Structure 1
């Protein structure tokens, strides 16, 4: 019996606690029902003359005390030691046995009281142990009476006694099982309802947080777009009206160029984050001289640092083995870290850049004496769209994308990135570790990506009257490319559509085609298809350059597969367009 009770303890602690709460709430109802039923039956027994008032009163007191003790002990926590449950069980079973014995000497009335007592005892056993142990305990109590019933000398026939005991036990166990089923249904319903409420609340909180983040990001993005454009429009307005002297003209042009490049960086960061979110950020790997990459970034930002009177302390280990990676992306990582250090360091501060080699890693460390990072922000510093607070965004600008992009790029290179800061206004340190490629002694490619360091048109070889057909539906883009190429000596014919371009091509085939891809109606892909079909009849292949805002790696692959020789992503440095035209023109002449 003990083993059966132990093995049947299949209720979890959570269920037991909920069961106890339900039991405690129903105890008053049990007590009232039991007292009313017992008193009523004892009154009937007295009226019928089956028992004397003294015996009925004695039975009522004994039964009340036993069941009162049992139900009181039922209040004990089911998760507590089993002593209270054992005592409650003993009291209940003693009440059953005593009432059965009382029935033997008292008559039929006490047999009916015994049936009712079985109901309440089984209920208490259910609440204390569960329905399976209740079944075992009641069966163990009732069975002996069924076995000895034929040998009793009661004036109640043994068959009636056995029938009464069996019916009473069945009713008690049915009630206990009913309680169990109803409790389980109530418990599961309440748990499901609470889980549904918790899920709804969690979803609502997440939606509100996402909405707040979206609103804050859009507000920041609007600021980052509008402020540079305002400067560009203001200077453009004054330039068009001839309101500036030579010194201010130079200043206006520098401002326009600077703000235009800030928009380029903003767009590139947004595109990179989009690629990261979609899992489409890819690397063009080569063996890279990391010291050269760091040096190029330092030179790129030296002017900004000097304008703020920030001291740059640069220490580069020139003997580092090349790392395997994408030179453009590694340049982007170092530039993000160093530009942040310069931006967040006040005038007169210091920024240190160190590159060294350990046993298996190349390590780049960027230190500054800037505004530092609060401890509660440090763990979230690499999250997307994150800066210390809104005041940081308002004061220093930016979308908070640079560090998130840097972390993703470093991880794709198999490296790690860490941020350290003693606290606010105490500076910060960023440490990047990249695995070395010890199998290669010299880098295979130029570590400094083309186009990172701004270059003017001065010093470029002239295009030597190369005939260029420029096709773009946007008049500003078409006119600017035309002006740049014409400045370098090319003979340029502009066209605003594929149809116009093909008319020009058929009349006077150019040496080089420069075309946009995303044009309304017939696009750049249709243009290059028609050009290549026309060339099959003439036998001469014309080099083609795509200058387009479709800037992803997939866009580049598709353009080259369609028949273009070069893919340049807008916005493009004028020098890069001139260099590309000169290169493909020389290649065509050499061929």
Structure 2
């Protein structure tokens, strides 16, 4: 029985390997066409600077996808023993230094210092250039990806007993003791890494490539302090000596995300969208979709998004789900539980397309859940519908209606609860003409700007006009239910000038106070 089960598992593993090999081969054909036509477009549209960034982004991500496909194919070939080494005798020091420099722009986006140091000036030895490129790329990119902003990533090269030792040392999120035995397994992701972009292929391939070169790879890590990956390779000098032509890598970031992408184009009459997305290219693409119709501000992770949402009170928030520091689901819950932000519509954009993922997003409070890749037309339509719905709600939440139903026994939503609380504070100070927007904001534990933005969004009234409307509604009630004079009612509802009171009253109700009474 054991032998049969072992045979069945082996056949299943072979079937999975064949499937991965076949499907990745199928990916290569459309990718070849995409990259080919991109080159054609670059030649034809080279003079149009507005198209340079989107075309570069398409090329960059197509190459990333092609690299991932190649990694999967290499892993499958390694498991079948069909991947061969192509050894050349070259300078490992200059090559490792070059590979480190290739990631400077990536590190700069997180304000990470990327440092390289070597014990020797040069080290000519046998290695497969392409395999070493894959090994170093995986280790350095992971070190940056899982590192915190404003930290240091070090790449070191030393020699010991006819071996070269290359280490990548970061100050990132670290790996738990329980995860360390499995991180080199294919498709394995730790709880921390699952919240960041990754496939679970890179480290598995890296281990196999190091093994193919008769080396070893190990890891030391502490949660929240960082990780150190160590690659040890034997130093041999049997291959033909080759001089590597290493062109100077481009260390400037093409896709660096500015805190406010279109600050110089801000228009007061446009609604504002906060995009919370750690992938700068995706964020820039979303911005390009909405750029002419909305003002756009950015946050690169959930924590920054929460802070910026509270500060600016945007009209709509578009957030990714998988992000460092705070994921989109937690961000949405935090926004929904905050008095200043719980009225803001939220659109979730995510690559997680399972029904359970969608339900989690909706439960957290998202209004719309779109899976990547999304259609620009659908995104724009969703935005338009949310803005249209908000305008309908502004009519629903008019002051007169709220005052009338404030004491009714109905199921209250968060917006109605907020407005009722605001009205109660105004009523408590109704006779005080000095009670203004600043004092109301203080009573609600909000800033002046937060209160203004929230009231404008849900009632289409500024803070001052909202307070005046509540005073006038109270005045109307007194006119209809008491024998107080118009002047007495004006003073009792916080108006210093009865004439101004009458003008404001007529502007709101299309009738003068005396006409209402008569």
Which TM-score band applies after superposition, normalised by the shorter structure? 0.3 to 0.5
TM-score (norm 1): 0.35
Structure index of larger Rg: 1
TM-score (norm 2): 0.40
Bigger proportion of residues as helix = 1
